[in-house]
Structures are given as structure tokens and as C-alpha cells.
Homo-oligomer: A and B are copies of this chain.
Amino acid sequence: MTNTQVTLVQIDNYGPWTVTPEPRREADLQTLQSRLYADVSQFVGNRGGYVFFTRFDNMIAVTNGLDLEDHRLLQESAGNRYPVTLSLGVATGTDPVQALSDATTRLQEAGSAQDEDRRECLEGRVIEDAHRTADDVQIAHFDVINATGNYTDELNAFDTFIEIEQGYAELMRHMRRAHDSLSFFVGGDNVIVVCPDLEQADYEEAITHVEEAVDVSLQVGVGRGENAHDAGFGAKHALETCRADGTRVELEFEQ
């Protein structure tokens, strides 16, 4: 059974900071956001986790394998190197949406995202080492079948983007409502989804749903592991099988 540890990473008081004393150059905000995300990706990724850029001022991470001291260090290091600070809420749950919900509540109870007195909160609990198992995280890696042939080399770049974005928006909503899962666009034509214990039939159903709703054809590789990297790497390999064999759903583990 999955036991996902989720961390919500929130920049403190970001909205006001971007316009005080005057609005800041947009290109600089984009650079700051992207590089801060890249640093969090390295920190979390080097410890076996995944972090998704999400809204940039709010980033969602799967942090099985990171303890509270790791979280505190991430916060301290960011505070030493950026003109903004981070608050972190951590929680665990048998389904990722529940874990994220609890992580969010932890921060909301500490104060508003734009409360100028709320800075560098660290709230929550992690899974203790003794309780971790090889089934804790399930990751599904979706991509659009032959995106390059069907879209990138055929349509203008924005119409390709629209197709992929509509596919993502439909998948994200469906996976959240029907399967308590969190879906994140990660570039190209790829979406990584953090799932509870789903089965082959659930993934087939999701793919059918998206195809019928918005006419975007997806394939998916699914993996399981003690942390996000292990589960995600299994999912990548399973996706290569889809690409090689022309199948729509491949699980890297036995159900």
C-alpha cells in the first residue's frame, strides 16, 4: 500500500515582494523562479525525491526519504542565497491528495501566504525509516503518442502546445477526482502522476477518458518504489516498453 510523503514548498509573501516598491522586471522574476525551482529539484532529487514546479511560488514535492532536518537545511540554504524565503509543510497519507491536503493545512494554520509576519515555517511529520517500504510510492509517467510526428513537426508551436495543455488539463482533473492522484506537466509532452495503489484497469480507463474528452492519445509506464526516484525510474523504463512495443499501459511491477 502506498504511503506518500508530500511537501508543499511555498515562497513567503511573494506576491507583494514582486511589486514592492515597484513592479520588478518580468524576465528577472522568471529567472528567479526557475533557478529557485532548479535548486529545490537538485536538493530533493539528490535524496531520491521529486519536486514539480507547479505554480513556482507553490511547488509540490514527493519527499519520501527526506527527514525534517533535510527540510530545515533546504530552507536555510535557500534563505542564504535568494531574496525570498520558503515555508514548508510536510505530511503523509495512503493517497497523495490526502497527504498534500494535510501539508497545505499545516501551512494555512501557520498563516497566510501573504502574511508579512509568516516566514520560514516548517510544519509537519515525515515517515520514520523503520516504517518505509518498497511500495510507498507509485509513479505513472504519461506521454503523448508520437507527439513529434503528429504535432511538433506539423502544427505551429502554439497549437501543439494547446493540444498538449488540453490533454494535461483533462488528465489532471480526472486523475484527481477519480483516482486521488496528483498530475504534473514536466516538459515536452510528458506528465508525471503521483498515484495511490492503482491498477492496470485504472490507467486504461484514464487513457480512454482523455482520448474521448479531448482527442489526445496517451501511453503510460508505471513504477513503484521506496521513493519517488525509484518509482519514477521504473515508470520511465516501462514507458520505453510502450514506445518499443506499441502498447498503451505498461506496469514495471507485478500487480
Contacts and interface: CB of A to CB of B under 8 A. Distances in A.
A188 B83 contact: no
B161 A54 contact: yes
A233 B25 CA distance: 7
B182 A173 contact: no
A35 B32 contact: no
Report whether over half of chain A's contact residues are helix, strand or loop; otherwise say mixed: helix
A50 interface: yes
Nearest to A28: B80
A101 to B, nearest CB: 4
Contact of A53 (B30, B49, B176): B30
Nearest to A60: B157
A46 interface: yes
Interface residues of A, number: 86
Contacts of A187: 29-30, 33, 55-57
A31 B37 CA distance: 8
Interface of A: 8, 10, 14-15, 19, 23-35, 37-39, 41-46, 49-51, 53-58, 60, 73, 76-77, 80-83, 97, 100-101, 103-105, 108, 112-114, 148, 152-162, 164-166, 168-169, 172-173, 176, 182, 186-189, 192, 229, 232-233, 236-237, 240
A26 B192 contact: yes
Contact of A56 (B45, B105, B188): B188
Closest A-B pairs by Cβ, 9 of them: A27-B45, A56-B187, A28-B80, A101-B156, A23-B236, A34-B38, A169-B169, A34-B34, A104-B156
21 contacts: A19-B236, A23-B237, A25-B45, A25-B77, A25-B233, A27-B50, A28-B77, A28-B80, A30-B45, A35-B35, A39-B42, A42-B43, A43-B46, A55-B164, A104-B155, A108-B154, A113-B153, A114-B148, A158-B182, A162-B172, A166-B169
